[in-house]
Structure 1
Amino acid sequence: MTSPLRKIAMGVFACFAAVNACAQQPAVTVKYTVNPNKSVTFDYVKTDPGTYTVALKLSNLTNAYASETSNLTAGFYSGRLLNLEPTNKDQGIGFSYTYSYIRGKLKPKFNADFIYVLPCKNGSKVKVMESTFLNATYFGNTAPDDWKVYRFGTAQEDTVTAIRKGIVVDIKDVAETNIAEGVQYSSRINELTIEHADGTIATYKHFKKGSFVVKVGQTVYPGTPLGVNAKNNANGMFGVTIMVAYLKSADFEAARAQNVQNSKSMYGFVNPHFYTAEGADVALVSQKEYTAASTPEVVKKEMSKKEQKLAAL
Structure 2
Amino acid sequence: MRILFASFFLFIFSSSFAQITVESERDSDGNVQIYATNSSLIPYTIQFEFSNLQNLSPTGGTYALGVANPGKSKVATLKKVNANQGTNFSFKYTYLKGNIYAKSKTEPVYLIPVEEGVKVLGGKMTHIENRIRSEANNDTYVGVSFRFDDEVEIVAPRKGVIVDMNMDLIEGKENLAFTREENYIEIYHEDGTWTKLMVLKGGSQKVKLGQEVFPGDVLAISGGENYENGRHIRMTVTKIEKDNLGKLKYMVEPVKFWIAGKGTAVESSSSFEVEHPKELITAEMSKRELKAYEGK
TM-score, normalising length from structure 1?
A: 0.78
Moved more, 293-302 or 279-288: 279-288
Kept after mapping to 1: 8 A contact 2:6/2:23: no
Question: Does the C-alpha gap of structure 1 residues 38 and 282 become closer, same or farther in structure 2, counting only changes over 3 Å?
Answer: closer
Going from structure 1 to structure 2, the CA distance change for 1:178 and 1:269 (only over 3 Å counts) comes to: closer
Q: 1:2 to 1:309 in 2, by over 3 A?
A: closer
What are the Cα deviations for residues 75-120 of structure 1, in whole angstroms up to 9, with x where unaligned?
3333111233434556653111211011233365447853221112
Let me know the Cα RMSD of the aligned residues.
3.0
Q: Which residue of 2 is the match for residue 238 of structure 1?
A: 231
Deviation at 1:194, TM superposition (A): 1.6
Q: Is the 8 A contact 1:273 1:281 kept in 2?
A: yes
The 3 A distance-change label for structure 1 pair 310 and 162 is same
Give 1:158-169 correspondences, 5 Å limit.
Answer: 158-169=152-163
Secondary structure at the aligned position of 1:56 is classed as strand
Q: Could you list the runs of 5+ residues in structure 2 that have no partner in the other structure? A: 130-135
Q: Counterparts of 1:202-241 in structure 2 under 5 Å?
A: 202-231=195-224, 233-241=226-234
Distance 1:250 1:95, change over 3 A: farther
Q: What secondary structure, in the 3-state scheme, does the structure 2 residue paired with 1:5 have?
A: strand
Relative to its length, the structure with more strand (as a share) is 2
Aligned to 2:66: 72
Do the aligned partners of residues 47 and 240 (structure 1) sit closer, same or farther apart at CA in structure 2, a change above 3 Å counting?
A: farther
Q: CA deviation at 1:158?
A: 1.8
Q: Is the 8 A contact 2:193 2:237 kept in 1?
A: yes
Partner of 2:25: 33
Distance of aligned partners of 1:180 and 1:134 in 2 relative to their CA distance in 1, 3 Å threshold: closer
Question: Displacement of 1:251 after TM fit?
Answer: 7.0
Identity percentage of aligned residues? 24
Taking structure 2 as the reference length, what is the TM-score of the superposition? 0.82
Whichever residue aligns with residue 104 of structure 1, its letter is G
CA distance change for structure 1 residues 283 and 40 in 2, over 3 Å: closer, same or farther? closer
Structure 2 residue aligned with 1:129: 123
Distance 1:103 1:50 in 2: 8
SS of the residue 1:248 aligns to: strand
CA deviation map 1:11-47 (0-9, x unaligned): 23xxxxxxxx3xxx64322222344554322111223
1:53 equivalenced with 2:57 (yes/no): no
List aligned pairs for 1:50-199, cutoff 5 A: 50-66=42-58, 67-89=61-83, 93-106=87-100, 109-110=103-104, 113-134=107-128, 143=138, 147=141, 149-174=143-168, 176-199=169-192
Q: Which residue of 2 aligns with 1:282?
A: 264
* Contact 2:102 2:190 survives alignment (8 Å): no
- Paired residues in the alignment total 283
| C-alpha distance in 2 between matches for 1:191 and 1:215 | 13
Match among 264, 274, 281 for residue 292 of structure 1: 274
Counterpart for residue 132 of structure 2: none
Q: CA deviation at 1:148?
A: 5.0
For the residues of structure 2 that align with 1:108 and 1:80, how far apart are their CA atoms? 17
Residue of structure 2 in register with 1:5 after alignment: 9
User: Which stretch shows the higher mean deviation, 151-160 or 32-41?
Assistant: 32-41
Gaps of 5+ in 1: 13-20, 136-140, 256-265
- Measured against aligned partners, the alpha-carbon deviations of 1:189-239 in whole angstroms (never above 9, x if no partner) come to 122222222223211112222222222222211101111221174443222
Runs of 4 or more above 4 Å deviation: 88-92, 107-113, 141-145, 250-255
